[in-house]
C-alpha cells in the first residue's frame, strides 16, 4: 500500500490540489443562453497569456434547445482544439426570476457536460470572487473587469463583456492554483 493510499482525507485533498496545480492551460466559461463567454488561458512560469477568447452567440430567434446544442458543440470544439488541463466556470448566481435561473442553469449544464465528457477537472468561482481577484473589489462593473483583463493580459483590444468575464474567471483560477501551491486557498471543484 502506497503513502497516498494511507493518507487521510485532508492529505488526499492536498495531493489532488497539487496535481491540479501542475495545470498550465485552463478553459474558462461564463455561461449564458444567447452569449456565452469563453477563454483559454495558458500559464508558463510567471507569465499568463490568452490563447483565445470570444463569445458563443446564439440568435434571438433560435430555439433554446438549439442554443444548448450550439454551446455544447462549441465548448467541445474548444477542448479538442486547445487541450486544456481543466475548466473553470462562473458559479451559479442568485437570480430573482425562476425562469432566468432555469435558462442560465441549462446553458451552464450544456457547457459543463462538454467539459465533463472529456474528463476535465471542473472548478467554479463566485462572481464576486472573480471581480475581487481581477479588479480588487467584488462590486466591480463589467467595464472595469474588461479594462483590467486587457491590462493584465496585455491585450491590444478590450474584449466584449462576456469574453472579458470568461478571461477574468480564467485569471481567478490561475491565481487560485498559485495560492493553493503556497497553501493559501483550497480550490473549489465540482
* C-alpha torsion angle, residues 63, 69, 71, 72 (rounded to 10): 160
Buried b or exposed e, range 92-109, using 16+ CB within 10 angstroms:
eeeeeeeeeeebbebbbe
Closest by CA position to 50, among listed 143, 133, 171: 171
The catalytically annotated residue of 42, 90, 124, 165 is: 90
The catalytically annotated residue of 5, 73, 157, 162 is: 162
Burial class for 44, CB neighbours closer than 10 Å (0-12, 13-18, 19+)? exposed
* C-alpha torsion angle, residues 78, 80, 81, 83 (rounded to 10): 90
165 catalytic residue (yes or no): no
Q: What's the chain's length in residues? A: 190
Are the CB atoms for 91 and 124 separated by under 8 Å? yes
85 catalytic residue (yes or no): no
90 catalytic residue (yes or no): yes
Terminal Cα distance for the chain, rounded: 28
Q: Which residues are catalytic?
A: 30, 90, 162
Amino acid at each position: 500500500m502506497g503513502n497516498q493510499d494511507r493518507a487521510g482525507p485532508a492529505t488526499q485533498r492536498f495531493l489532488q490540489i497539487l496535481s491540479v496545480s501542475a495545470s498550465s492551460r485552463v478553459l474558462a466559461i461564463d455561461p449564458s443562453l444567447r452569449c456565452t463567454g469563453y477563454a483559454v488561458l495558458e500559464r508558463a512560469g510567471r507569465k499568463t497569456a490568452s490563447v483565445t477568447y470570444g463569445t458563443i452567440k446564439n440568435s434571438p430567434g433560435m430555439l433554446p434547445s438549439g442554443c444548448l446544442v450550439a454551446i455544447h458543440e462549441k465548448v467541445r470544439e474548444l477542448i479538442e482544439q486547445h487541450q486544456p488541463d481543466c475548466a473553470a466556470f462562473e458559479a451559479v448566481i442568485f437570480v430573482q426570476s425562476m425562469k432566468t435561473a432555469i435558462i442560465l442553469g441549462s446553458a451552464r449544464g450544456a457547457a459543463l457536460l462538454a467539459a465533463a465528457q472529456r474528463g476535465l477537472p471542473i472548478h467554479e468561482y463566485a462572481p464576486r470572487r472573480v471581480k475581487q481577484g481581477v479588479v480588487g473589489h467584488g462590486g466591480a462593473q463589467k467595464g472595469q473587469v474588461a479594462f483590467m483583463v486587457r491590462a493584465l493580459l496585455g491585450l491590444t483590444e478590450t474584449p466584449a463583456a462576456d469574453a472579458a468575464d470568461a478571461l477574468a474567471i480564467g485569471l481567478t483560477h490561475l491565481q487560485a492554483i498559485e495560492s493553493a501551491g503556497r497553501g493559501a486557498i483550497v480550490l473549489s471543484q465540482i
